[in-house]
Amino acid sequence: MLIATWNINGVKARLDALLAWLQERSPDIACLQEIKNVDETFPREAIEALGYHVETHGQKGFNGVALLSKEKPVSIEPRLPGDSSDEHARFIEGVWDFHGRPLRVASLYLPNGNPLGTEKFTYKLAWMQRLLAHARDSMAREELLVLAGDYNIIPERGDAARPDKWTGDALFQPESRAAYRRLINLGLSDAIRATTDADGTYSFWDYQAGAWQKNNGIRIDHLLLSPEAQDRMASAGIDRHVRGWEKPSDHVPVLVELAA
């Protein structure tokens, strides 16, 4: 079972790249973020033609998440619990049958939180607190759980090529990183860091200042696994070559493989 997460940065603008990558990698479940369109205008026909079932929680112009899967999910939940007034489309979760056991996979797009000192940073931390509560409740079920997405958090200094340049950014604040550690401390495992501690392991390169060419990247796209999912993990990796494609997203796919 190959599960991937990718902040696509506008699905219509990156549709050719998405279709090419789906054919190249053939993930069983693909979690997309920043699809940037409403459910009704999502280009599902082209994706369905490749054999994928499509579930979306869209929003006009920004945000928006999706789940693409070879098998139809047993159930879908399009919102993160904890705040019924939150209108941002940042979360969608599905449950699949995985060899007789429930597999719960969420595609999530955490708030950026910039600029510091504004309600945007407060919202980021509140959203993280809701995610923590949801993860705790989900883990109590002792299911295979994968929380996949763009966390907009650089967990450690080794997750940035130039960490000192991020000290004034919401992605690298002590509060943001502490919220991420609280998730890990529930017993979740960071799939990439479970397989490598190497520096230079990035999932995002800005469009500006030749960041891709200089490998001036950061790692902010994460797959967090419950102990039950961690026990099945066969491999994890980052498809960094996709960043070199024509009209790329500034993020690349991150993947984990679960063994039967």
Q: Tens of pLDDT along 203-246?
A: 999 999 899 999 999 999 999 999 999 999 999 999 999 999 99
**pTM (two decimals):** 0.97
Report whether 250 belongs to an annotated binding site: yes
- For residue 108, give both structure tokens: 């999530």
Half-sphere exposure (CA, 13 Å, Cβ side) for 198?
8
Helix (H) or strand (E) holding 184: helix 174-185
Cis peptide, bond prior to residue 115, ω within 30 of zero: yes
Closest CA to 67 of 47, 93, 42: 93
Report whether 150 belongs to an annotated binding site: yes
In angstroms, rounded to a whole number, what is the distance separating the alpha carbons of residues 86 and 115?
20
> Which residue type is seen at 191?
A
- For residue 258, give both structure tokens: 């679960």
β-strand pairing of 29-33 with 2-7: parallel
The residues spanned by each domain of the chain are 2-258
What was the pLDDT predicted at 246? 95
CATH ID of 2-258, from 3.30.70.360, 3.30.342.10, 3.60.10.10, 2.40.50.140: 3.60.10.10
Report whether 241 belongs to an annotated binding site: no
The residues annotated with a catalytic role in the active site are 109, 150, 251
In angstroms, rounded to a whole number, what is the distance separating the alpha carbons of residues 187 and 48?
35
Report whether 152 belongs to an annotated binding site: yes
Residue 75, C-beta contacts closer than 8 angstroms, at least 6 positions apart: 94, 95
Averages of pLDDT over runs of 10 residues in the chain (260 residues) are 98 98 98 97 97 97 97 97 95 97 98 97 98 97 97 98 97 98 98 96 96 97 98 98 97 97
